[in-house]
Amino acid sequence: MTTPTPLLSVRGLTRDFGGIRAVDSFSFDVPEGSITGIIGPNGAGKTTVFNLITGVYRPTAGDILFKGEPIGGHRPDRIVRAGIARTFQNIRLFNRRSCLENVLTPLLQREKSNFFAALAGTPSARRTERSLREKAFDLLTSLGLDAFAPLQANTLPYGLQRKLEIARALATNPSLLLLDEPAAGMNPEETRSLARLIAEVREKFNVTILLIEHHMDLVMNICSPVIVINFGALLAEGTPDEVRANPDVVAAYLGKGRKGK
Amino acid sequence: MFLQTLITGLSIGGIYALMAVGYSLVFSVLNFSNFAHGAVIMLGAYVGLALATKLSLGFGLVLAGSIAGAGIIAVLNERLAYSSLRRRKAPSLYLMISAMGCAVFLENLVYATIGSRFYAFPEFFGRQIVTLGESSVSLLDVGAFVFALAAILGLHLFISRTRTGIAIRAGVSDMTMCSLMGVDLDRLISIVFLLAGGFAGVAGVFLGIKYLVYPTMGWVTNKAYIAAVIGGLGSLPGALAGGLILGVVETFVSVYISSVMRDVFSFTLLIAFLVLRPNGLLGRDSEEKV
């Protein structure tokens, strides 16, 4: 049996901040088409890993291979164009812009446009803009946000802002989508509907998903494999059941029992 | 007399607006006060002067050359003095100190190489006069005002319609997010400085023609800071409105009260705005820029 090359492969990833080693020779794979989950206690280095993959930070050491190509230390815009998009734990939308414009921004950056035609507002430039607006609207529709298209992004309720961030990330046409705590601040009902949405997005947009999450039920229901990180290093990886049964994981989350076995 | 004062005021205001637009553009994207902007204006004026006196070019070519020259100088300024600070995500105070250093350096470089002499542009517009009803105003004043308006309108179209313009607006709101939308930040920031420098070049030529060219002429940019604050820091329509208002008010103060009072009045206005209306006339809430 041959295992296909993973979509994303992280090897020995390390990042220091001053004297603090936030990520410590961390290695893991994201299989193509999977919903891979990263879990770990607060401060374990999960978001730093996302920042390293998306080029917001440069790795101190280690390799990041995307579709077999090294991308570690590349500029964020190159990595986006290679096909990795992300959302943020603390939502970062273009607050003063409408929902539609938020999704339109990355669409416009992908388009080759004629500078002078755009400046003069020629019919062909307007046609291009109209078709991009339609595309943006379709993306909003597929996430159930079409009714909010003209509203200013920061007026949306929290849960919908998260969805809008996902829509904007999808507008960069990614093959790998990184979601940083997509269910943060959601109640159990909202979390369940988010789980359905994530599965739908994977099917519909044909993306592989890597997500960080604290809601264990979400991770255990939709993610496989699950990767556990603690103190910046890999603690365990495997199917949800394997991870749940791993004594190291239990210890990291709940502390070691007094009885000791 | 009133109309004449108004037009003179608008003409000076137009030049203030040109300076304020470039300054405001850099401020809104990088969130620091680029004190080297005045030095770029001064160098733009010297480029224009060289083209006009050494090569005896006409006004249009002088203006174009000065736009290109000042634009390139501004980009080099960013590449050499700011970009490494920016990439290391240094606090904006460091950028501001670096900008002050650049201003002093460039000024002294001009002192050391060209000298402290005051130069005058050749008389492009002669003493041509435009007659409007009872009053007559100089063609230069009308031209400066019209050209400033046209340039700022062009910039507005660029920012609101083109792909790069929209990327600039995204960068104003969140730089990291902007790069995650697929925008090359280094290129974007170079374009911002090229634009700011281009506007500085226009301002430099008009200032040079109206007054004189000398190493410390860039300090008139203080007025651009006032204009930007009146209009609202980071707002382009604000920079235009602020520049025009400041120019007109200043001219009326010098004509009807006393020219000695002019700058006292301008800086009082600056402090009054900062105390009473820190976001200016058209500025965004300061909490949005964190």
* Domains with residue ranges and CATH for chain A: 1-83+174-261 (3.40.50.300), 96-173 (no CATH)
How far is A223 from A204, CA to CA, in rounded Å? 17
- For the segment B40-52, what is each residue's pLDDT rounded down to a tens digit? 999 999 999 999 9
What separation in angstroms does the CA of A7 have from each of A103, A210, A225, B41, B58? 25, 11, 13, 51, 61
B183 in A contact zone (CB under 8 Å): yes
Whole-number pLDDT of residue A259 = 53
- Asked if B183's CB is within 8 angstroms of A92's CB, the reply is no
| Per-residue pLDDT at B287 exceeds 60 | no
Exposure on the CB side of residue B138, measured as CA atoms within 13 A: 15
Measured in angstroms, the CA of A191 and the nearest CA of chain B are apart by: 25
What residue in B sits closest to A172 (Cα-Cα)?
B181
Return the closest-CA partner of residue A105 out of B87, B171, B202.
B171
Q: Does B153 touch chain A (CB under 8 A)?
A: no
pLDDT at residue number B35: 92
Count of A–B CB contacts within 8 Å?
76
A177 has a pLDDT exceeding 90: yes
B250-259: average pLDDT: 89
Residue percentage of chain B with pLDDT more than 70: 96
One-letter amino acid for residue B6 of the chain? L
What mean pLDDT value characterizes chain A?
89
Contact: B182, A106; criterion CB under 8 Å: yes
CA of A121 to nearest chain B CA: how many angstroms apart? 8
CA distance B289 to chain A (A): 11
Mean pLDDT of A101-114: 84
For residue B186, the chain A residues in CB contact (below 8 A) are: 75
**Does residue B170 register a pLDDT over 80?**
yes
**Band of the pLDDT at B285, cuts 50, 70, 90?**
low
Q: pLDDT-derived band of residue B88, with 50, 70 and 90 as boundaries?
A: confident
Give the pLDDT band of residue B121 (cuts 50, 70, 90): confident
DSSP A155: G
What tokens does B223 get?
């007025």
Cβ–Cβ of A109/B173 closer than 8 Å?
Answer: no
Average confidence (pLDDT) over B137-143: 82
Chain B residues inside the 8 Å CB shell of A54: 180
Residue A94 to residue B174, Cβ atoms within 8 A: yes
On the 0-12 / 13-18 / 19+ scale of CB atoms within 10 A, B49 is buried
Share of chain A above pLDDT 90, in %: 55
Q: What pLDDT is stored for residue B286 in this prediction?
A: 47
Residue B132 — φ and ψ, nearest 5°?
-125, 105
Q: Distance (Å) from the C-alpha of residue A50 to the closest C-alpha of chain B?
A: 12
For the segment A112-138, what is each residue's pLDDT rounded down to a tens digit? 777 778 887 888 888 888 889 999 999
Q: Which of A53, A80, A94, A179 to mutate to test the interface with B (most CBs of B within 10 A)?
A: A94
- Across residues A35-47, what is the average pLDDT? 90
Closest CA to A110 of A77, A155, A72, A152: A77
- Whole-structure pTM value: 0.86
Report whether pLDDT(B288) > 50.
no
Region A168-179: mean pLDDT is: 94
- Contact criterion met (CB < 8 Å) for B180 and A77: yes
| Chain B contact present for A68, CB below 8 A | no
Q: Does A96 touch chain B (CB under 8 A)?
A: yes
What are the C-alpha distances in Å from A17 to residues A14, A57, A74, B92, B195? Answer: 10, 10, 19, 20, 36
Cβ distance A80 to B161 less than 8 Å, yes or no, reads: no
Domain boundaries, chain B: 2-120+140-219
> In this complex, do A56 and B176 lie within 8 Å of one another by their Cβ atoms?
yes
Chain A residue at shortest CA distance from B164: A109
**Using a CB-CB distance cutoff of 8 angstroms, which residues of chain B are in contact with residue A56?**
176, 180
Nearest residue in B to A122, CA atom: B161
| Number of C-beta neighbours around residue A17 at 10 A | 11
Nearest-CA distance A106 → chain B (Å): 5
pLDDT of residue B127: 67
Find the mean pLDDT for residues A14-22.
91
B160 to chain A, any CB pair closer than 8 A? The answer is no
Phi, psi at residue A44, to the nearest 5°? -75, -15
Q: Which of A105, A125, A172 sits opposite B170 (nearest CB)?
A: A105
A77: closest chain B residue by CA: B182
- Interatomic CA distance for residues B62 and B204, integer angstroms: 11
Q: In chain A, which among 115-154 make CB contacts under 8 A with chain B?
A: 115, 118-119, 121, 125
Contact (CB<8Å) A115/B162: yes
When pLDDT is averaged across residues B24-39 and rounded to a whole number, the result is 90
* Nearest Cβ partner for A77 among B158, B182, B288: B182
- A77 and B158 within 8 Å at the Cβ level: the answer is no
State the sign of the Cα–Cα–Cα–Cα dihedral B83, B89, B95, B101. Answer: negative
Q: Is B280:B233 a contact under the CB 8 Å cutoff?
A: yes
Do the Cβ atoms of A80 and B181 come within 8 Å? yes
Percentage of residues of chain B with pLDDT beyond 90: 43
pLDDT at B289: 38
What size, in residues, is chain B?
290
For residues A221-238, average pLDDT: 90
Q: pLDDT of A192-217, one tens digit each?
A: 889 999 999 999 999 999 999 988 88
**What is the pLDDT, as a whole number, of residue A112?**
74
| A106 at B interface, C-beta within 8 A | yes
Chain A nearest C-alpha distance from B87 (Å)? 10
Q: Report pLDDT for A102.
A: 92
How close is the nearest chain A Cα to the Cα of B13, in Å?
A: 26
The partner residues of A233 in beta bridges, in order of sequence, read A230
Q: Hey, what are A129's tokens?
A: 């803009």
Chain B residues with CB-CB distance to A108 below 8 A: 163, 166-167
